[in-house]
Amino acid sequence: MKNFKNGIFILSMMLLTACSDDFLDVNGSTTNPPSSTPELTLPAAQKYTADMYYNANNAGNSFNLIGGIHAGIISDSGDRVWYRSEQSYIIINDTYQSLWNNTYSLPLNSYHFIEKYNGEGYDNYIAIAKIMKAFHFATLVDMYGDIIYSEAFQRGNNTQPAYDDDKAIYDAIYEELNVAIDMITNASPDSKTVSTDIILGGDMNKWQKFANTLKLRMLLRQVNTGENLTSKYNELVNNGVGFIESSVNVNPGYIDESNKQNPFYALHGFVPGGQSPAVNHGATRGSEFYIDFLNDNNDPRVAQLFLPVAGEFVGVPQNTYENAYASNLTSELGPALLNSSSQDAPLMLLSEALFLQAEAAQRGFIPGNAGDSYKLGIVASFSEMGVPNASTTALNYESNSISPIINWDSANGNGKQIEAIITQKWISGGFITGFEVWMDRVRTNFPSNIPIPPGAVSNIFPSNLLYPTSELSANSANVPAQGANAAFDRHTFWMQ
């Protein structure tokens, strides 16, 4: 398996080198398709996917980084000024614009190439491309609201594509997930085996489960819209597909060499060789609120997430630059986050999938025991973070707690079931899949007592990013107007 992944990594790098910026420009003028195949393009696209969520085009920003900051989890040490703008809630059109630009130009354009490839026997490749396009488009809608969808990828034929309504896009990509699931079920016996898949190893049953779990995530995003989604929930649980049974990770064969490390490790861990810290290593810290919450509730995951300083786990209040919180006096990231340069890059944790099921069951949207799914989610989280004797330790943590947002029986008795579920998702995913916990905070306002950082320009935490400068320059006639408060106004349809 290791040799297979290393071979895939080499193929991916060859394609990345061969693809020109013109091909990968969403509004570019090039009209000739690249000389490639789905077999070659898929692992490159999947690597691009991981990059967007952990280190977008080596720009030092990502969906999960800004998500973890706005979810009140990530801070920076008092003697570094890495994330000051983010923690001050200063959001302008240039803020993290590489997320927009590179999501369109790298993974989405690559998946679109696969989806439209003119060749026989590529049903399963096309289904994967559809699933991953839905994955990325959902994130862009969450982040920005209305985006380019129906007129994307026309390149030289349309250099100023129109924007589509965010709700219409959500509905469209939801149906694309259904199409992908059906394509896999009905794939021709002559369909090619997906031999270069660096996410799920070509296991098409797992791809169906991933698509179905993405559908559940998208439906729960819309819980506050008032729309009756009963028929969609019924289809979701009655289609015979089920939900993911293990985490969904990207790994092309990351190794301890320059430009080949896991992207999170490359940014926050160590340079190849493991001796010298990476660029963000001394800056990236857990927030005081997050670490104190773990400490106060005797949560053993704290020792996996962070390293002790003089026997204690010490966080940094967001946006606080004082010598008392210098990098040598605060907790570095621990083995759950920085295990090795070859570690996986998660796209969806099993713990998240279980907490999604717990929430949906608690709200009466799907059958099942919410408490059981909740407890299994905690067990999955402990396992994901490498807590010793994960199952026993997790169940003891939950059952021995007196907190009504940890102990399920107490949560039941106090009407805090949803708060407990979202709080556990926040703990489990905050440093790993930070974008999801940010969106949960926007959707539910849990945890409700996360402090607004001192010096922040707003007393309301951000909900969105602004359309990038690149779009305002190249496509100004179509970019939707945004008010001065657009980063905080919850303008994506499901936030209202």
Report mean pLDDT in 10-residue bins for the chain, 496 residues: 48 45 34 72 98 89 97 97 97 96 97 96 98 98 98 92 98 98 96 97 98 98 98 98 98 97 97 94 98 98 98 98 97 98 98 98 98 98 98 98 98 98 97 97 98 98 98 97 96 96
The pLDDT of residue 57 is 74
Q: Name the E strands within 47-161.
A: 74-76
- Does domain 36-61+96-247+466-495 fall under CATH 3.30.360.10? My reply is no
List of residues 6+ apart from 187 with CB closer than 8 A: 123, 124, 127, 204
What distance lies between CA 211 and its chain's CA centroid?
Answer: 15
Q: State the pLDDT at residue 55.
A: 94
List of residues 6+ apart from 27 with CB closer than 8 A: 155, 159, 160, 161, 474, 475
Compute the distance between CA of residue 467 and CA of residue 308 in angstroms, rounded to an integer.
Answer: 40
**Which part of the chain has CATH 1.25.40.390?**
36-61+96-247+466-495, 72-92+281-343+349-462
Cis omega (within 30 of 0) for bond into 300: no
CATH class of this structure's domain 72-92+281-343+349-462? mainly alpha
* pLDDT at residue 467, as a whole number: 98
**pTM exceeds 0.85 for this model:** yes
Gap between the Cα atoms of 450 and 20, Å rounded: 44
Q: So what's the pLDDT on residue 470?
A: 95
pLDDT at 21: 36
